[in-house]
Amino acid sequence: MKKEGLAKHNILEPLKAFTPARIALGRAGTGIPLKAFQAFKLAHAHARDAVYSELDIDGLNEKLSVFDLPVIHLHSAAAYREQYLQRPDLGRKLNEESAEEIKKYYSPCDVAIVIADGLSAMAVNNQVVKLVKSLLALLQDANFQTAPLTLVKQGRVAIADEIGLALGARLSLIIIGERPGLSSGYSAGVYITYQPKPGLTDECRNCVSNIHAQGLSGKIAAEKIFYLIQEAFKYKQTGITLKDNQLLLP
């Protein structure tokens, strides 16, 4: 066999053009080539950076202010990042100060938009403004009443249940940084819950995920979320009983 190695003859090689997944890496002896190994280590480092990244509160506050909605700053019961990672239960509820603060904004409305760092604040910093802009335009055109925007530090998905109930919203959605992978550490997801209240679990939600520069665009994600919101109000439910039938043939 010639010295150019197996990677050049790998039958999976053409598929690399269609996916960022680590396929057709080749091999060096019993391991992978040094270049592929270094790329893996770099991707892992980026993922760790994403987990420990922080919301750009000042920058987001300025960018979100153009939507002419109050922006409320809240914090979960997880006081700091390490505690957030070790105690998921604390990330699902507001701390005492935030729970008191949000009571001031109660007013019956249709949709509450919650923004939280989750496991990648970088994703939220990069994706949220375009997504909120497209989504608010659709909601306002349809005459949905929206609650003030909320920015939550150290938040997990279920914290939107408490916030939605406190704001008097019929439906809550949370835009949150997804768990970083080795292909993208900057992906955001959106979870939608009809009639939010503390104690709900994940089967009560619909999710639109993979929102990032190489994934779902903010505009397309907003259209899918808006469709699901309309369906949620139509059938008065979200979760495993609410199916996405948008692209099915009649």
What is the C-alpha separation between 159 and 95, in angstroms, rounded?
11
- The CA distance from 189 to 123, in Å, is 9
Q: Match 């009560």 to its residue by tokens.
A: 204
Closest CA to 234 of 168, 167, 170: 170
Q: Are 42 and 50 in contact (CB under 8 A)?
A: no
152 is in an annotated binding site: no
Question: Angle CA(22)–CA(36)–CA(20) in degrees, nearest 5?
Answer: 30
Residues facing 172 on adjacent strands? 112, 193
Residue 162 Cα distances to 93, 99, 105, 148, 204, angstroms: 7, 9, 13, 14, 14
Annotated ligand binding at 111? The verdict is no
220: its two tokens: 């397309």
Of all helices (H) and strands (E), which one includes residue 153?
strand 149-153
Q: Are 231 and 242 in contact (CB under 8 A)?
A: yes
User: CB-based contacts of 68: which residues, under 8 Å, 6+ apart?
Assistant: none
DSSP conformation class of 39: H
Q: Is 178 annotated as a binding residue?
A: yes
Show binding-site residues for adenosylcob(III)alamin.
157, 178, 207
Show binding-site residues.
157, 178, 207
